[in-house]
Amino acid sequence: MKMSKSIALFVIVLMAVTAVFANGQKEIAYPERDISAIVPFGQGGGTDVWARKVMEAMAKELGVAITVTNVTGGSAGSIGVSQVWTSPHDGYVLAATSETPLTIPVTTPITQTSKDWDYFIAGGSPGLLCVNAKTAAALGIDTLDKLAAYGKKNELKIAGTTGGLWFALASLISEKNYGNWPFTWVSYAGSGPAIVATVGGIDADLVVASAGEVKDYIRSGQLIPLAHMDTVAYNFTASAKPIAIPAITKSIPGIAKYLPLQQWLGFKVPSDTPADVKAKLTYAFKAAMANPDMTGFAADQIAVIFNKSGAEAKAMAQKSESNLCWILFDLGKTTYSPAERGIAKP
């Protein structure tokens, strides 16, 4: 007989709380007040959108409000992440996250790595390289092949968040040993602002972001997707007519060894947060992810649900951290070596 979702969730929390008592720790009444979640990037990007959805669902399970606040600035979202780290590690200040902040220890003086955090990974969406439609028409770069021919001879501006997954992929595209396209990187405090700037033709011609983040602009015809940031083509079906998007490796086969690199979104807490607090967060997170409404949300975001926590989520974060930090180090894009931060090579 299959166990119901509600019974399974109860068993998860019961086992976690039992472990707390077995270790001689006194159970903490949690939550006794409202909770704050800090998004280290601007509004409208994947981290922000997913944080608001997940926190809304978790608040119903925990019986308190969870206030989501955007605190931007610093490399890879370091200002917002630092605000969470320097707050009491009691579960009342959570850090919304993506894979991007994993590069903080190699791009800033901050030394905390994935080993210092526990992760709750909700979902993620495929990465796309998109061009402003007006720029595409003016320069004749409305396909990947045309972009490749133009990009090798002319400078284009590409927008994104410095330090993360999309930055690493864009860096590989411009690296002389791979794409050798002379891009100028324009940094923004999150994918949301980067996309808006590209759509408006303010300071960038192209943007690298997830399909979920750019879907509305592709539908409206303001952005044209030129490449799937992976080794296989991608069929974008969230528009009136399906769009076949070629793999970036069609034009730059050399970066295949670094792929796939997966976007993921969720939240994290310091690892030394009390165990029973993390158990209750785990219960609320699992309940939120099991809600049918979350399935519909993920589909609208063109995303895959991961629903990972505990050791499974930590392992996923550490793998991403290793890949991203060493790619950026090899490309000369870091201030500190991953080795000196204790980050193993892939």
The share of the chain scoring above pLDDT 70, in percent, equals 92
pLDDT tens profile 37-56: 999 999 999 999 999 999 99
Taking 70 as the pLDDT cut, the residues of the chain under it are 1-28
Question: Residue 222 and residue 236: Cα distance in Å, rounded?
Answer: 15
The one-letter amino acid code at 122 reads A
Task: Give residue limits of the domains in the chain.
Answer: 5-125+263-341, 127-258
pLDDT digits (tens, 9 = 90+) for 267-290: 999 999 999 999 999 999 999 999
Could you tell me the strand order of the sheet in which 35-39 lies? Answer: 66-70, 35-39, 93-98, 265-270, 117-124, 304-309
Asked if 179 contacts 173 with a C-beta cutoff of 8 angstroms, the reply is yes
Would the CATH topology of 5-125+263-341 be identical to that of 127-258?
yes
Residues 6+ apart with CB under 8 A from 319: 346
- Per-residue HEC secondary structure of 248-264 comes to HHHCCHHHHHHCCCCCC
**CB-based contacts of 135: which residues, under 8 Å, 6+ apart?**
141, 201, 205, 206
CATH architecture of the domain formed by 127-258: 3-Layer(aba) Sandwich (3.40)
Q: What is the CA radius of gyration of the chain?
A: 20
| Superfamily in which the 5-125+263-341 domain is placed by CATH | Bordetella uptake gene, domain 1 (3.40.190.150)
Q: What would the pLDDT profile of 7-20 be if each residue is shown by its tens digit?
A: 444 444 445 444 44
The two tokens of residue 257 are 């060894």
> What three-state secondary structure class fits 187?
strand
Q: Mean pLDDT, the chain, as a whole number?
A: 91
Q: Quick one: pLDDT at residue 22? A: 44
Q: At CA 127, angle to CA 209 and CA 58, rounded to 5?
A: 75
294-300 contacts at long range (C-beta below 8 A, 24 or more positions apart): 294/53, 294/54, 294/57, 297/53, 298/123, 300/212
- Cα separation of 130 and 272, whole Å? 41
